[in-house]
Amino acid sequence: MKFHPLFPIITLSAVVAFAEDKPSPIGYEDTPLIPGTQWRVHDIKRPAPNVVAPGKTSADAPADAVVLFDGKSNEQFRGKDGAPCPWKVENGELVVKGGDIWTKESFGSCQLHIEWLTQPETKGNSQKKGNSGVFFMDRYEAQILDCYNNPTYADGSAGAVYGQTPPLVNAVRPPGNWQVYDVIFTAAKVDQDGAVTEPAYVTTIINGICVQNHTKIMGPTVHRQTTSYKGKFPGQAPIRLQDHGNEPPVRFRNIWIRPLP
């Protein structure tokens, strides 16, 4: 028998075409159980993840986020002892002036997106230059600081768990540029009496660069002291943004949060 010279290619194409026609299985029922779960590998009965529409860009809030600041209103925040939020909205930006502010809502584990800007003409040095911060659960500070050519102690650098763990690298842009913070915060686990049974953790990305990778938080962040989880802790608490009083003020924009289970 004589074959056409292209016979192997024609045959292979036919096999590929047949394979493409056959739909891919959307799950299996005959695979082993994944240890520690009720699910089989590729289990057809395992619920599919919910659909969440992403924002237009990674700065924009996804559909299921709580928008804390959209450039218009400071209403998601309050000042000390329930006073109205003292920070003004200017140019679609939240201007840090008038003392610390707190979210009206309480949060535990969460994903937070926040952008900040310090000015090139900012006076001062070290911790007095463009200092602010995000205090998760009103306790654990993810440091914000103008760290561009500004020597300071490592555990007070931008992205530090303040007073505990320096960032893996210094990832800030020069002042005058917006800096982007994306933080995954895992709240400490507490028993029914509020005693901590498992510490809090934080993963921090600044300007697309990972600076904390599931870092264990040793306790509430404090200045010039060590810390621990002594006493009672809540399951949720407001997020605090810091006014460190540096001039000109730090500015914030695009703040949104997604509570995590």
Tell me which residue of 178, 177, 185, 180 sits closest to 161, measured CA to CA.
Answer: 185
- Smallest distance from Mg ion to CB 115, Å: 16
- Smallest distance from Mg ion to CB 131, Å: 5
- Smallest distance from Mg ion to CB 258, Å: 23
Q: Which residue's C-beta sits nearest to Mg ion?
A: 133
Instruction: Determine if 133 is a binding residue for Mg ion (CB under 5 A).
Output: yes
Question: How big is the site for Mg ion, counted in residues (CB under 5 A)?
Answer: 3
Instruction: Determine if 150 is a binding residue for Mg ion (CB under 5 A).
Output: no
Instruction: Determine if 131 is a binding residue for Mg ion (CB under 5 A).
Output: yes
Distance CA 155, CA 224 (A): 11
Stretch that binds Mg ion, among 28-36, 67-75, 112-120, 127-135 (CB under 5 A): 127-135
Stretch that binds Mg ion, among 4-12, 126-134, 186-194, 217-225 (CB under 5 A): 126-134
Per-residue mark of binding to Mg ion, 217-246 (x: CB under 5 A): -------------------------x----
What tokens appear for 164 in the block? Answer: 């505990």
The residue ranges that bind Mg ion (CB under 5 A) are 131, 133, 242
